[in-house]
Amino acid sequence: MPIYSERQQNIAEQISDNDVTISNWRDWRWQLKNSVEKVETFERLLGIELDPMERGKIELTLKKFPLSITPYYLSLIDVEDFRNDPVFLQSFPMPEELEIGKKDMSDPLAEDKDSPAPGITHRYPDRVLFHISNVCSMYCRHCTRKRKVGDVDSIPAKEQIEQGLDYIRKNPVVRDVLLSGGDPLMLSDDYLDWVLTELRKIEHVQIVRIGTRMPVVLPYRITEDLINMLKKHHPVWINTHFNHPRELTASSREALRLLADAGIPLGNQSVLLAGINDCQRIMKSLVHKLVENRVRPYYLYQCDLSEGLSHFRTPVGKGVEIMEGLIGHTSGFAVPTYVIDAPGGGGKIPLNPNYLISLSTNKVVLRNYEGVITTYQEPEKYESSFCDRKCDECHLQLKLEDAEEFRSTGIETLLADYDDTISLTPEGNDRFERRNDD
């Protein structure tokens, strides 16, 4: 398993004055402690040089939107062509970030408005977003919560998290809790263990999800200890955030393997970013690599209207074009849902190419991914029932509890009235071997 590339070795040595071991590099706390926050360090570690004019403009950007990148993620940049490199573009500040468009907003998703308790965004009927960390292991330039980046670089106080937990306890409609931030995996294992334990005590909380970019930007955070802790709290789902196939390195594949082996269903949320992944070939390669590593592409986001992101935005048509190139052309489970998170807090709205061409009362006209136009005959008889919610009189099976599965064993089987077994025969019985099968 390659841990070091030459570049990684070189970066690690520069950081630690030659005194570096593989276990340093693979220690997530070492990575965080040595996160790169200055443009000069960025240039020095990669051996690149910007012209002074450009550096000046970038310093201005930094005053508003700070820089932070882990040595690991930095090491993935292709120095030969760094200006087009997807990792560079996602991590290095650009003067364009200061261009605020007329329709840009600081909180386009109205997350702060839809917040009935500290850290909670309750937008959908049955699930909440619970921000339990204000920090990230790196600052994505395309962050939708850019307004908060570097703000209060701290973990919210326990009392604040208690208030969020209290909200969830008091609202039995909440069956799904999405832990987000910041990055929840910036919390220590013990702290996260506490939050998960408290959530698990709440009977109406059926599932917990964690949104984290650690497998991408700091895969060493996925340790055996973390996995063993998470496993105690199943069902836990994890969504991560790969945007480009180059991000699936040996280290990040290993992190995904550990998570998947722990029985954690994995999903991926990508953002469509101009100059980074706004290309059918790149996206197809990304989704293929994801499913190869047991990650289901979940959402492809149209870039939000947050301030400072205008240079990353593509027209919506680009997203539809990419979906056109995926649907039908590759495995259904490799296709994410393309969504716009509606400005003003309307939630995610799915967008697809149109497949329905026309319809009459008995026929539907459709086209497939190849452009073949086809028809579907509607059923001749369909008794559309008037649903007045009088479920007691309905013929549909509305027993929604799990079907019971009985399995008796041994002599109990012979005694049971509900079982037709008349004899039990030892394996390899000679008499049975001699029998004709007809």
Ligand X SMILES: *Cc1c(COP(=O)(O)O)cnc(C)c1O
Binding site for ligand X (CB under 6 A): 121, 123-124, 127, 129, 178, 348
Question: What does the alpha-carbon distance between residue 210 and residue 208 come to, in Å, rounded to a whole number?
Answer: 7
Q: Collect all residues with Cβ–Cβ distance below 8 Å to 268 and sequence separation of at least 6.
A: 239, 240, 241, 242, 290, 295, 296, 297, 298, 336
Q: In angstroms, give the least distance from the CB of 126 to ligand X.
A: 9
Active site residues: 123-124, 127, 136, 140, 143, 145, 304, 341, 348
Closer residue to ligand X, CB minimum distance, 74 or 205: 205
Of the candidates 337, 241, 318, the one whose C-alpha atom is nearest the C-alpha of residue 280 is 318
Q: In angstroms, give the least distance from the CB of 341 to ligand X.
A: 6
How long is the chain? 438
Closer residue to ligand X, CB minimum distance, 263 or 346: 346
Is residue 384 within 8 A of residue 376, CB to CB? The reply is no
Closer residue to ligand X, CB minimum distance, 121 or 268: 121
Map tokens 């960025």 to a residue. Answer: 42
| CB neighbours of residue 198 within 10 Å | 17
Closer residue to ligand X, CB minimum distance, 44 or 175: 175
Joined tokens for residue 68: 């932070």
Q: Collect all residues with Cβ–Cβ distance below 8 Å to 391 and sequence separation of at least 6.
A: 398
Q: In angstroms, give the least distance from the CB of 269 to ligand X.
A: 8
Q: In angstroms, give the least distance from the CB of 178 to ligand X.
A: 5
Q: In angstroms, give the least distance from the CB of 211 to ligand X.
A: 9
Closer residue to ligand X, CB minimum distance, 129 or 326: 129
Question: What does the alpha-carbon distance between residue 45 and residue 47 come to, in Å, rounded to a whole number?
Answer: 6
Q: In angstroms, give the least distance from the CB of 31 to ligand X.
A: 28
**Exposed, middle or buried by CB within 10 Å (0-12, 13-18, 19+), for 391?**
exposed
Q: Collect all residues with Cβ–Cβ distance below 8 Å to 155 and sequence separation of at least 6.
A: 132, 133, 134, 135, 186, 187, 191
Joined tokens for residue 382: 């369909």
Q: In angstroms, give the least distance from the CB of 129 to ligand X.
A: 4
Q: Which long-range contacts (CB under 8 A, 24 or more apart) does 36-40 make?
A: 36/67, 36/68, 36/69, 36/70, 36/71, 36/74, 37/66, 37/67, 37/68, 38/67, 39/67, 39/93
Beta strands in 73-116, from DSSP E residues, in sequence order = none
Residue type, 310: S
Closer residue to ligand X, CB minimum distance, 349 or 416: 349
Closer residue to ligand X, CB minimum distance, 267 or 308: 267
For Cα atoms 151, 42, 147, give the angle at the middle one, nearest 5 degrees: 20
